[in-house]
């Protein structure tokens, strides 16, 4: 797939000279961007001012007839604005000023007296008002990644250059050189008018342009887009709305007004709590994508997975496409057949989306060996078990495996709630036992929660993290205990959700309440996704471990549902009914009947919509803070990342810890006290939360 594009700059950056250099090739100025302090180029103040200076010099040099703008970094043109730069701004005015500087630079380049060709290799921030309404909307609002060929079709770029293989130099180096050669040739061609820039528009295009230009049509487009945005964001994310505003201003009132609106709005948005939350998540994710535990002594090359269920097959899928030799073992042929199908379907979806060729799919599948015996386990470097959540079964499997695997082999358990030390109790070498908690569906959910016990060796941890990173996961490392971190936070919230249902709030209403708070998946749907049986299991186990604090809804509700076969999405029925091809899911009336049986009366003092939302969230948050207090979590960053990427905690709130910071610990505590009065200790704030409430200067995030 081609990775490079050219486009004529309608956008770009500003000022200084360690970052930007240029040389003349005949009458073409080749401007090179290279931030010496980073792996990627960003539009930092330095970059912008240097570029501005260089452009000035070039424009004043009569011998220069055209220019090429290129990055010296393989795979990165300009990754975007410098987040640190924006974060360093104290006020919205500062950001607005930065934005305006940027706009000036872009505008200058756009109005450049000589043609400027941008030769783009890899990631590039795109955009611009010029792209044409619908295309631009889609791209700007969703932050979509566009493949090079698509970008050409959309008219964002004019010409594509294919990456080269190795020649007399390494491929990457030669590719950039080649890109530059082609760009210089193109620049010359444009300068001496041998290459025409604009194609004659086709009839359809003209027609489309005319229609799009009509007032009512434009209004309709704004309206449709706004509605769509509202539906998707629930009004929780301010940026898309502002973007529509800017474009509307630009189209209706002209460029200058559009630019001004853009800069001002950008300034305002940069200082919103949503912006801080999302930047925090971005930075947290960068931290959680590094291996802080060193290089493992032995790289894992051969992985064995026990259990070809949803989880096992999912783990296999994300392993084989990274080149890991993977065994998928189950006890029955039917099991591996289903598992292999799942992996095939997962990869084939990528083929349909053209992210993979069918040949690559088949080559990837050749890394998978599905089997019902232990052949090959004697050379495995790591075994991940994803068998049924029953300590006795786990012990049996562990003993069987340890009899076969080589001494260096790591045993990882993909359990969602059983303490790892309990599982390790049956092991001859507990230092090689670790927890690797994946989230379903594994190929979509980015989080991996790694659990260590007191006995887990450092090298085992380093190895597990390195495998997880290879699988493309964002990793948090937490301490051992019932439910670890993520399950432990989710359980009280689900218990509360069951109580809410028992109190007469229907599943649909419950979903609406949670999604409008920012959860991507509603609480009732989430229970169905996780599996009602799993939820029941976890609720019971953790209930035993933590006592009444984990109470709330009646576990019998879940158990009765399971008895009736309502295990959630996987069984076709849970809180909702799932069927093939049905878009609108309908409420499972039989489940409602069960709820009716366990009906509780809703105390009016804590049953407003907002109260229900906060009952759910505060239990989640309190448990998260308690995990930090107890040392299950080592820091709030991992707590936020785990909650958002593993459990769907509202990203706009940035995670439970950032939520406490921005919502105010004191406010949260007083709210919880009110709930505590009605329901008891399930809402008793933990000590760390109380400390924060007492001292407002205490923040989880600086």
Partner 1 sequence: MASMLLNSMRTCPVSPARAVQYAARSLSTTTQLQAQVQTKSKKTLARPSVKNIVLVEGVRTPFLMSGTTYVSSFHWGLLHKTGIPKDAVDYIIYGTVIQEVKTSNVAREAALGAGFSDKIPAHTVTMACISSNQAMTSAVGMIAAGQCDAVVAGGVEFMSDVPIRHSRKMRKTMLSLNKAKTLGQRLGLIGSIRLAHLAPELPAVAEFSTAETMGHSADRLAAAFGVSRVEQDEFALRSHTLAKKAQDAGLLKDVISFKVPGRDIVSKDNGIRPSSMEQMAKLKPAFIKPHGTVTAANSSFLTDGASAVLIMSEEKALAMGYKPKAYLRDFVYVSQDPKDQLLLGPTYSTPKVLERAGLTMDDIDVFEFHEAFAGQIMANLKAMDSDWFAQTYMGRKSKVGTPPTEKFNLWGGSLSLGHPFGATGCRLVTTVAHRLQKEGGQYGLVAACAAGGQGHAMVIEAYPQ
Which residues of the shown chain bind partner 1 in the complex (CB under 8 A)? 159, 161-162, 164-171, 174, 178, 182, 185-186, 357, 359, 363
- Compute the least distance from the CB of residue 5 to partner 1, in Å: 13
Under 8 Å between Cβ of 261 and 249: yes
Residue with tokens 């230009």: 213
Integer Cα distance of 366 and 286 in angstroms: 32
Which residue's CB is nearer to partner 1, number 218 or number 350? Answer: 350
Least CB distance to partner 1 at residue 351 (A): 12
The answer to whether residues 286 and 160 touch, using CB atoms and an 8 Å cutoff, is: no
Please name the residues in contact with 700: beta carbons below 8 A apart, sequence gap of 6 or more: 628, 636, 657, 658, 660, 661, 692
Distances (CA, A) of 194 to 10, 161, 183, 188, 575: 21, 19, 14, 8, 66
3-state secondary structure 569-623: HHHCECCEECCCCCCCCEECHHHHHHHHHCCCCCCHHHCCHHHHHHHHHHHHHHH
Cβ closer to partner 1: 144 or 169? Answer: 169
| Minimum distance, C-beta of residue 609 to partner 1, in the bound complex (Å) | 53
Closest CA to 306 of 448, 436, 119: 436
Task: Compute the least distance from the CB of residue 189 to partner 1, in Å.
Answer: 9
Cα separation of 365 and 351, whole Å?
13
| Length, in residues, of the chain | 702
Please list the residues that pair with 303 across neighbouring strands. 326, 382
Q: Which of 61, 352, 312, 30 is nearest to 181 (CA)?
A: 30
Question: Minimum CB separation from partner 1 for residue 172, in Å?
Answer: 11
182 versus 595: smaller Cβ distance to partner 1: 182
Nearest Cα neighbor of 612 from 671, 656, 550 is 671
CB of residue 150 to partner 1, shortest distance in Å: 17
In whole angstroms, the minimum distance from the beta carbon of 301 to partner 1 comes to: 21
What amino acid positions are annotated as catalytic residues? 449
To the nearest whole angstrom, how small is the minimum distance from the Cβ of residue 361 to partner 1?
12
Q: What is the 3-state secondary structure (H, E, C) of 323-372?
A: CCEEEEECCCHHHHHHHHHHHHHHHHHHHHCCCCCHHHHHHHHCCEEEEC
Element (H, E) at 66: strand 66-71
For the chain, the farthest-separated pair of C-alpha atoms sits apart, in whole angstroms, at 87
CA 45 from chain centre, in angstroms, equals 28
Q: Angle, to 10 degrees, between the axis of helix 656-663 and the axis of helix 609-630?
A: 120
The smaller minimum CB distance to partner 1, of residues 45 and 164, is found at 164
Of 109 and 187, which has the nearer Cβ to partner 1?
187
3-state secondary structure labels for all residues of 443-500:
CCCCEEEEEECCCCCHHHHHHHHHHHHHCCCEEEEEECCCCCCHHHHHHHHHHHHHHH
Nearest approach in angstroms of CB 270 to partner 1 is 41
Residue with smaller CB distance to partner 1, 164 or 600: 164
Query: Least distance from C-beta 167 to partner 1, angstroms?
Result: 3
Q: How far is CA 18 from CA 13, 15, 322, 456, 560, in A?
A: 15, 11, 37, 47, 68
Q: What are phi and psi of 136, to 5 degrees?
A: -65, -40
Q: How far is the CB of 26 from partner 1 (least distance, A)?
A: 16
Q: How far is the CB of 163 from partner 1 (least distance, A)?
A: 8
CB nearer to partner 1: pick between 183 and 244: 183
CA distance 187 to 114: 9
- Within a 10 A sphere around the Cβ of 153, how many other Cβ atoms? 12
Phi, psi dihedrals of residue 21, rounded to the nearest 5°: -135, 165
CB of 64 to partner 1, least distance (A): 22
Q: Where do the DSSP E strands lie in 239-280?
A: none
How many whole angstroms separate alpha carbon 19 and alpha carbon 13? Answer: 12
Choose between 129 and 161: whose C-beta lies nearer to partner 1.
Answer: 161
**Degrees (nearest 5) of the Cα angle 32, 37, 39?**
75
Q: How far is CA 672 from CA 341, 501, 643, 667, 700, in A?
A: 47, 20, 20, 9, 19
HSE-up of 112 (CA within 13 Å, CB side)? 30
Helix (H) / strand (E) containing 304:
strand 302-306
DSSP 114: S
The 3-state secondary structure of 533-550, one letter per residue: HHHHHHHHHHHHHHHHHH
What is d(CA 423, CA 402) in angstroms, rounded to the nearest whole number?
Answer: 13
């Amino acid at each position: 797939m081609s990775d490079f594009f050219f486009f004529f700059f309608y956008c770009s950056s500003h000022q200084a000279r360690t970052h930007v250099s240029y040389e003349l090739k005949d009458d073409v100025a080749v401007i090179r961007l290279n931030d010496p302090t980073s792996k990627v180029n960003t539009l930092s103040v330095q970059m912008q001012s240097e570029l501005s200076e260089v452009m000035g010099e070039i424009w004043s040099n009569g011998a220069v007839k055209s220019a090429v703008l290129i990055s010296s970094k393989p795979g990165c043109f300009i990754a975007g604005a410098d987040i640190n730069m924006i974060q360093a701004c104290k006020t919205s005015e500062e950001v607005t000023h930065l934005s305006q500087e940027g706009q000036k630079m872009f505008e200058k380049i756009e109005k450049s007296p000589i043609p400027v060709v941008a030769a783009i290799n890899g990631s590039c921030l795109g955009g611009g008002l010029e792209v044409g309404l619908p295309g631009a909307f889609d791209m700007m609002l969703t932050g979509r990644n566009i493949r090079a060929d698509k970008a050409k079709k959309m008219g964002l770029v004019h010409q594509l250059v294919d990456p080269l293989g190795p020649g007399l130099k390494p491929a990457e180096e030669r590719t950039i050189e080649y890109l530059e050669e082609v760009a210089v040739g193109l620049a010359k061609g444009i300068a001496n008018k041998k290459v025409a820039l604009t194609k004659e528009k086709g009839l359809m295009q003209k027609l489309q342009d005319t229609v799009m230009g009509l007032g009512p049509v434009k209004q309709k487009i704004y309206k449709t887009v706004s509605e769509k945005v509202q539906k998707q964001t629930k009004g929780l994310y301010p940026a898309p709305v502002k973007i529509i505003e800017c474009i509307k201003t630009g189209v209706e009132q002209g460029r200058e007004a559009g630019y001004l609106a853009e800069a001002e709005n950008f300034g305002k948005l940069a200082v919103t709590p949503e912006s801080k939350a999302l930047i925090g998540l971005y930075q947290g994710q960068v931290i959680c994508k590094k291996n802080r535990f060193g290089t493992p002594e032995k790289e894992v090359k051969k992985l064995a997975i026990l259990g070809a269920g949803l989880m096992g097959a999912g783990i296999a899928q994300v392993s084989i496409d990274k080149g890991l030799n993977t065994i998928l073992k189950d006890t029955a042929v039917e099991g591996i057949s289903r598992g292999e199908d799942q992996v095939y379907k997962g990869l084939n979806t990528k083929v349909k989306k053209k992210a993979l060729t069918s040949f690559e799919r088949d080559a990837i599948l050749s890394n998978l060996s599905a089997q019902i015996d232990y052949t090959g386990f004697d050379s495995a470097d790591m075994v991940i078990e994803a068998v049924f959540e029953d300590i006795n079964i786990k012990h049996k499997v562990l003993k069987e495996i340890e009899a076969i695997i080589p001494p260096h082999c790591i045993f990882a358990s993909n359990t969602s709630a059983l303490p790892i030390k309990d599982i390790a109790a049956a092991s001859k070498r507990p230092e090689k036992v670790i927890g690797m908690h994946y989230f379903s569906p594994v190929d979509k959910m980015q989080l991996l929660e790694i659990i260590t016990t007191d006995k887990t060796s450092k090298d085992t941890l380093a190895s597990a993290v390195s495998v997880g990173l290879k699988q493309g996961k964002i990793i948090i490392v937490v301490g051992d205990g019932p439910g670890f971190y993520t399950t432990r936070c989710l359980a009280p919230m689900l218990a509360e959700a069951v109580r809410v249902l028992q109190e007469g709030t229907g599943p649909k209403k419950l979903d609406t309440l949670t999604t409008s708070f920012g959860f991507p998946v509603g609480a009732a749907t989430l229970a169905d996704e996780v599996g009602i049986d799993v939820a029941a299991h976890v609720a019971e186990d953790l209930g035993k471990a933590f006592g009444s604090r984990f109470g709330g809804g009646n576990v019998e509700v879940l158990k009765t549902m399971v008895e009736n076969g309502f295990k959630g999405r996987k069984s076709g029925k849970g809180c909702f009914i799932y069927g093939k091809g049905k878009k609108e899911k309908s409420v499972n009336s039989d489940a409602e009947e069960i709820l009716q049986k366990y009906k509780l009366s809703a105390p009016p003092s804590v049953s407003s919509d907002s109260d229900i939302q906060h009952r759910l969230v505060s239990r989640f948050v309190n448990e998260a803070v308690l995990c930090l207090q107890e040392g299950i979590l080592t820091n709030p960053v991992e707590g936020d990342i785990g909650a958002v990427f593993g459990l769907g905690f509202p990203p706009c709130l940035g995670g439970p810890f950032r939520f406490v910071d921005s919502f105010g610990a004191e406010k949260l505590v007083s709210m919880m006290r009110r709930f505590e009065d009605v329901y008891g200790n399930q809402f008793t704030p933990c000590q760390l939360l109380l400390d924060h409430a007492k001292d407002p200067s205490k923040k989880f995030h600086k």
